[in-house]
Structure 1
């Protein structure tokens, strides 16, 4: 069905990566994911992913295991690697980290809510329920 959906043409791949960023960006703020706010840690997490998968793709392209349809990429290449593929190696791990951190935040909220409910059922006073968490999350994160 080529031609039934023309989409963005050469910008399809990058548009998809942009959509991934836009969809997950609110997780940074709404669920306090703190991925973008810890840039050195983010870069340490991204470096091995980018290196391993870039080498993997370069080898696969050189051996003709796969190619990229020129209809859906900009034509901007970094060596044999299309720009879009490098962007993919950056965007998707960031989106995954945002999702992971947001889920961790929600789980933390649910645990605190369950503890408050359990304490309320045992006659605990309101001052007892507002004490700081004696077991903060690992890594010094004080969310």
Structure 2
């Protein structure tokens, strides 16, 4: 297969399993598409605009050898698809955990943990100003986590414990995909704009080239999608006033 299809094949391989399992009777993910698909739109728009600005600024770039060549402005078609396909897969894993372990939504330990993470992200933003990838990833995480606590009624249905537990699992396939994207490499990073720390530098290729920021970039992406997904679902089940 021509290497220009590398990014596309990684995405198709990623979504194949979750798409086929969407019709599992227990989870019945397909029945939740009416909440999921609208929930994907706003985070995707946010990340696409961010991606476009940072690509133009030289924070990261894409290898022409591994993309089809179809672009919207500076972004490859595959990069646009990334912001729909990866959240689809990750929210699927989240929903599996919630369906098989419903009691997790009754737990409250996640709120102080997420709040502490928000504070740490804010501190990280203060100390990494000037390194665009690290700074904005930290800042946007802090701001969105802050919004979850400031507007809890608007984000009704979101449970921090369920999200954090699911992300500990979601991050595994997320990093596998990122390992391929950064190891091949499909995506190239300007280390002047990040901390220059690779999470798994001790591992063999392709997992040894993932910037530490990717964990928290992924966290924000999935956090936003889960929060909006739960917002739409909870809104749908609210009792109607007469």
TM class, shorter-length: 0.5 to 0.7
Partner of 1:16: 10
Partner of 1:123: none
More helix by share: 2
In structure 1, runs of 5+ residues without a counterpart are 1-6, 110-137
Partner of 2:23: 29
Partner of 1:57: 51
Residue 66 of structure 2 aligns to a residue in which SS? Answer: coil
In structure 2, runs of 5+ residues without a counterpart are 104-232, 238-242
Residue 14 of structure 2 aligns to a residue in which SS? Answer: helix
For 1:104 and 1:78, the matched residues in 2 are separated by 36
Per chain length, whose mean CA-contact separation is higher, i.e. which structure has more relative contact order (CA < 8 Å, sep 6+)? 1
Partner of 2:175: none
- Does the CA-based 8 Å contact 1:35-1:42 persist in structure 2? no
For 1:33 and 1:91, the matched residues in 2 are separated by 18
- Does the CA-based 8 Å contact 2:4-2:64 persist in structure 1? yes
> Which one of the candidate residues 96, 111, 123 is aligned to 1:102?
96
> Which one of the candidate residues 38, 59, 69 is aligned to 2:63?
69
- Does the CA-based 8 Å contact 1:31-1:102 persist in structure 2? no
1:100-143 residue CA offsets vs partner (Å, 9 max, x unmatched) = 1111121149xxxxxxxxxxxxxxxxxxxxxxxxxxxx945xxx
Count, aligned residues: 106
Structure number with greater Rg is 1
Partner of 2:77: 83
The alpha-carbon deviation at position 79 of structure 1 amounts to 1.5
User: Kindly tell me: are residues 29 and 36 of structure 1, through their superposed partners in 2, closer, same or farther at Cα, counting changes over 3 Å?
Assistant: closer
Partner of 2:208: none
For 2:5 and 2:67, the matched residues in 1 are separated by 6
If the length of structure 2 is used for normalisation, what is the TM-score? 0.40
1:49-82 residue CA offsets vs partner (Å, 9 max, x unmatched) = 1111101111011111111001110000012111
For 2:77 and 2:45, the matched residues in 1 are separated by 14
If the length of structure 1 is used for normalisation, what is the TM-score? 0.65
Q: Which residues of 2 match residues 91-130 of structure 1 at below 5 A? A: 91-108=85-102
For 1:101 and 1:30, the matched residues in 2 are separated by 12
